[in-house]
Homo-oligomer: A and B are copies of this chain.
Amino acid sequence: MDTELLRRLATPNTTKIVLSVVDGLGGLADTRTHRSELETANLPHLDNLAGDSVCGLTIPVDYGVTPGSGPGHMALFGYDPLQHEVGRGVLEALGIDFDLQRSDVAARGNFCTLDAQGKITDRRAGRIPTTLTVELCERLNQIKLPGVELIVEPVREHRFVLVLRGEGLEDGLAQTDPEREGVEPLPVRATSEKAQATADLANEFVKQAREVLSDQEQANGLLLRGFAKHPDLPSMPEVTQMRAGAFAVYPMYRGLAKLAGMEVSPGGGTQGSQLEALKSRWDDFDFFFYHFKRADAAGEDGDFHAKVLALEEYDKLIPMLRDLDADVLIVAGDHSTPSQFAGHSWHPVPILLYSKHGIIDRVDQFHEAACLTGALGIFPARHVLSLAMAHAGRLMKYGA
C-alpha cells in the first residue's frame, strides 16, 4: 500500500514487530546437487519457524531488477524503491556512518592519476593506501568555498566522500569520471538550471583540490560521481505510528534505517551482541529492524560453502529471536546473492512471517522452492511492512 494509505490506516497498538533481514538471503541451486544454499544448509530452527509461519517470496524492486542494498532495504521499510531513490553519494556517506543532514549534497570521490596534460592515466591512483587517503582528505578539508561548508571524509584505499553543506544546494549534477583513461576528467555539469550554483561550487572545489594535490605523484587528481541529496523520505515511525529501532553491525544498514526515520542503536560488535542490544531496548520500540550481514558477504565472494555456513550461523540465532515473543516476527532478505553469481541478483527472496494470529500454510522448510508454495505467494517487498502491521493489529479497516 502506498504511504498515504498507510498513514491513514495506521493505528497504535501495544504489539511488537521484529523484521530480521538476512542480507543476500536468496540463492540458486548448485549445478551438481540441484540444491540452493538454503536447501543445503542445516536449518532446524528456521524450518521449524517456517512450519509455524506463512511463507512466500518477495520481489525486491521489479521483475528482473537486481537491487543494491539501498532499494532492497527501502522496500522492506515500506517505501516504493522506484519512487524513493537513494543516491550513490548518500549510500557512500551512510557506509562510513557519516551524519548526513537533509540539505547536504554528497558525492563519491576517487583519487586518480593525471599526466602533464591533465589526462587520466589511472582512475584509481594505484589504489593508494587508506592512510594516505586520510592525510589527503585532511588537506582537502582546508579548502574554503563561498557560503557553504565542505566536508571530505576518507573511505578506503583511493575512495572518499565529498559533502557540501548549506542552504539551497541541488543534486542534479553529472559525474566528472569519464569512465576511461587517456582523457581529462569532465567538469561538473548541472543537469538542471537550478543546480548551476551547486555545479559552480563543485567545480571550484575540484580546481582548488588540483592545487592542493599538485605535490602528489599518484593521487594528483580526483573524480566525483553519484552526487545526491538526502532522499527526505516520509518518516516511517511517523507514518506507521510505531517507535522503530535499528540494530546492525555495519554502518550502511544503520544509515538506511536512519533515512527511514528509525532510531539507530550503536553499531559494531557481533550479530549476537546486536541481538542482545535489541533485547535490552525491548520496551523502547514497537518495530525492530535487525540486520544479519554474513550471508551476503559469502555470496558476493562466490563461496557457496561459506554462504551455507553463514545461514547455519543465522539459524542458531532463531531461538533467541523467537524468545523475544514478538507478535510478528519476519525473516526476509533485501535481495538474493547467489554464490553462483558472486553478486546480487533479481531472483525473488524467501520470506516467512510468524504471527500469533496468522494463517499457517503447509510450508515447513525455509528455502526458495518450499516458499513458492506458501500462502503469501510471490509479492513486491514494499508490501511486507503493511502485511506485518495487519498481522500486528496496527491497521484499521478500509471503508465501511
Contacts and interface: CB of A to CB of B under 8 A. Distances in A.
A72 to B, nearest CB: 8
A397 B345 CA distance: 8
A302 interface: no
B400 A68 contact: yes
A363 to B, nearest CB: 10
A156 interface: no
29 contacts: A1-B62, A1-B64, A5-B82, A9-B65, A28-B359, A36-B359, A62-B383, A63-B386, A64-B386, A64-B388, A64-B389, A65-B386, A65-B390, A66-B390, A66-B395, A66-B398, A67-B397, A67-B399, A71-B399, A81-B399, A85-B399, A87-B400, A88-B400, A91-B399, A340-B357, A369-B375, A372-B375, A377-B378, A378-B379
A25 to B, nearest CB: 14
B86 A383 contact: no
A15 interface: no
Contact of A397 (B5, B63, B66, B379): B66
A1 B399 contact: no
A343 to B, nearest CB: 8
Interface in A89-140: 91-92
Interface string A1-26: 10001000100000000000000000
Nearest to A74: B399
Interface in A46-68: 57, 61-68
A64 B395 contact: yes
A303 B229 CA distance: 55
A379 B379 CA distance: 10
A8 to B, nearest CB: 11
A80 B5 CA distance: 14
Q: 10 tightest A-B contacts by CB? A: A64-B386, A64-B390, A63-B383, A68-B399, A377-B378, A71-B399, A70-B399, A68-B400, A88-B400, A1-B62
Each complex incorporates copies of this chain amounting to 2
Contact of A64 (B64, B67, B387): B387
A300 interface: no
Contacts of A341: 357
A360 interface: yes
Given A1-B62, A63-B386, A65-B386, 16 more contacts: A5-B62, A28-B357, A34-B360, A57-B377, A61-B399, A63-B383, A63-B390, A64-B383, A64-B386, A64-B388, A64-B389, A64-B390, A64-B391, A65-B395, A69-B399, A377-B378
Contact of A344 (B61, B67, B397): B397
A373 interface: yes
A24 B284 CA distance: 37
Nearest to A4: B82
A372 B383 contact: no
Chain B CB within 10 Å, residue with most, of A87, A91, A375, A397: A397
Nearest to A340: B357
Nearest to A368: B359
Nearest to A391: B64
Contacts of A9: 65
B398 A71 contact: yes
A18 B252 CA distance: 40
Nearest to A9: B65
B379 A369 contact: no
A362 interface: yes
Contacts of A359: 28-29, 36, 347, 368
A360 B9 CA distance: 38
A122 to B, nearest CB: 23
